Amino acid sequence: MRVVSAVIDPAKQASFDEDSILVERFLSGEADAFETLYGKYYDKVLAIARGVLIDADEAADAVQEVFTLVYRHLGRFDRRSRFSTWLFRIAVNRSIQEARRNRHRHRNVELSEALSTEAPAEVQDLDPRVQVALHAMQPADRALLVLFYWEELSLQEIADSIGCGVNAAKTRLYRARERFRTLYEREEDES
Amino acid sequence: MKERISPEVDQLMWLVAEDAEPKAINDFGVRFPDLRGELMKRVEMVRTLRGAKEPGHHVDRIPAFSMRKAEPVRINPRLAFIAACCAVAAIGLATYTVISSSRTTAARPPVTPISTAMPTPSPGVVYRNDLPKQPVTASPLPTPTPEPSPTTGLPNLPVYLTPQDFTFHNTKLRLAIQTAAMAGNLNVEIAPGLPDMEISESYRQISPVDLLRRLGHDYGFSAFEQESGKVLIIPEVDNDPKDANRPAQTASPSR
């Protein structure tokens, strides 16, 4: 149902047209057009980055990197597709890449730091069961859940964002949801 | 409990849990009363997961875009080590392959050269080294690599080395030489002064080259093998009338 609704959603169609105009304007030399795109999609990219990276500071840092990539490579964007899909794809890939790098880095911190239970304020706001379950998941699985449950993208949009087919996206989303449920229920039982 | 749920019902339950419409939840509970508890757990989980987006999600003030500098290419030391190992292994394999193939080539049996040894010298016979004016070449007849015959398994000899039967009956010596040359696909050049006697002889299983040598041995000439299948016939004794050692014009071999 969501796939169909996304296709015929007039709001999304209008946004698609608006984004295309902004991209055209930026490519023709108007720097303000990029600022508009940045302001329009900052929240969504930050949400994806936060969902994948968990840490708010790392997520904010990742957002700047994502938009830097977009700024540099907007000329390569295939304007037949949605700008938002292309942007989310970059955001997902960059966040996953950053999460893997950070995981490697976090392994090397001292044990005393790792055992510190004090979490950043933003993270503390998360439901502890969700926080623990998301932490235990792979970044790619977290990205799927974020795109589906937080950004409420359709399966087609998720497939485009992670670079696979709709059926593959559906399967991967199902598996990610099952992993989350297992971890979530385990945490629930323990608490 | 999860094991009892069929995939279709499981999928339906997720759809109901994600939509979270009270009527759909109620209908599902009526239809699957045993799964009502499981459904409610999923509804709660989805609600919690969706709700986790809210804190800190909305940004009051969007920070200004700051362009990041291009990151230098960072080489993962582990990947670099693996790549180096692969490169060393590839070089080692290539070296081994080259060496083993060259050893195989060296181990092959050498091609047996065609014997160019002259027959045992007989008294009065003039051989190559005694003829300074003749264009002596060190190269024997072409020696193609013998290949096994598909039928016999024996090497396929060139025609001038293939044993054949020859029978001459009152045949001129020149004609006998030409016959041997034709049989061996050889080009024969006969120097002046060769006695043209008639011969009657039969040779069994002898190659054309050996036949020429044999005829030379028997009838007083030397067969010099040149390049490109050419054979030079030189009389052993000058047939000049002034020569006192003129051989007898007989049809019998000098053996």
From A105's Cα to the closest Cα of chain B, the distance in A is: 13
Tell me how close the Cα of A189 comes to any Cα of chain B, in angstroms: 12
pTM: 0.52
Q: Give the residue-averaged pLDDT of B89-94.
A: 92
Question: Which residues in B lie closer than 8 A to residue A51 (C-beta atoms)?
Answer: 53
Smallest Cα–Cα separation from A63: which of A39, A83, A85? A39
Q: Residue A62: what pLDDT? A: 92
Alpha-carbon distance values, B50 to A87, A112, B19 (Å): 22, 33, 12
Closest partner CB to A127 (pick from B41, B52, B63): B52
Q: Please check the confidence at residue B77 and state whether its pLDDT lies above 70.
A: yes
Query: Tokens 């297992």 correspond to what residue?
Result: A182
- How far is B132 from A30, CA to CA, in rounded Å? 97
Residues 6+ apart with CB under 8 A from B56: A50, A56, A122, A125
Q: Tell me if B50 and A149 make a contact (CB, 8 A cut-off).
A: yes
Is the torsion defined by CA of A164, A149, A146, A152 positive or negative?
Answer: positive
What ipTM goes with this model? 0.74
Query: Using one digit for the tens of pLDDT, what is the confidence trace for A97-121?
Result: 888 887 766 555 544 444 444 444 4
- Residue B79 sits at the chain A interface (C-beta within 8 Å): no
Rounded to a whole number, what is the distance in Å from the CA of B104 to chain A's nearest CA?
A: 50
Residues A167 and A159: their CA atoms lie apart, in Å, by 8
A149 in contact with chain B, both atoms CB, cutoff 8 A: yes
Q: What residues 111-130 of chain A have any CB closer than 8 A to a CB of chain B?
A: 122, 125-127, 129-130
- Which candidate in B65, B74, B78 is best for mutational testing of the A interface (most A CBs within 10 A)? B65
Length of chain A as a residue count: 191
How close B59 gets to chain A, by Cα (Å)? 7
Question: Are the beta carbons of A130 and B57 separated by less than 8 Å?
Answer: no
Q: Tell me how many helices (H) and strands (E) chain A has.
A: 11, 0
For B236-250, what is the mean pLDDT? 51
Handedness of CA B79, B81, B84, B85 (dihedral sign): negative
- CB pair distance less than 8 Å for A39 and B62: yes
| Residue A161 confidence (pLDDT) | 85
Query: Is the predicted pLDDT of residue B48 greater than 80, yes or no?
Result: yes
Residue B126: per-residue pLDDT: 44
Q: Which of A32, A45, A46 to mutate to test the interface with B (most CBs of B within 10 A)?
A: A46
Asked if A31 reaches chain B (Cβ–Cβ under 8 Å), the answer is no
What confidence tens digit (pLDDT) does each residue in A34-71 have?
Answer: 999 999 999 989 989 988 888 888 899 999 999 999 99
Strands (E), chain B: 147-148, 155-156, 164-172, 187-190, 198-206, 221-225, 230-235
Contact yes or no for A52/A143 (Cβ under 8 A): yes
pLDDT value of position A130 = 85
For residues B56 and B41, give the distance between their C-alpha atoms in angstroms, rounded to a whole number.
26
Residue B246 has a pLDDT of: 45
On whether any CB of chain A is under 8 Å from the CB of B67, the answer is: yes
Nearest Cβ partner for A122 among B49, B56, B66: B56
d(CA A53, CA B74): 21
Least CB–CB distance from B48: residue in A47, A60, A130: A130
Say yes or no: B23 contacts chain A, CB-CB below 8 A. no
Partners of B45 on chain A (C-beta within 8 Å) are 180-181, 184-185
**Is B230's pLDDT higher than 70?**
yes
CA atoms within 13 Å, Cβ hemisphere of A73: 14
Higher pLDDT: A113 or B222? It is B222
On whether any CB of chain A is under 8 Å from the CB of B50, the answer is: yes
- Provide the β-strand partners of residue B165: none
Chain A residues touching B68 at Cβ < 8 A: 64-65, 68
* Element (DSSP H or E) covering residue B105: helix B77-107
pLDDT for residue A174:
92
A64 in contact with B, Cβ within 8 Å: yes
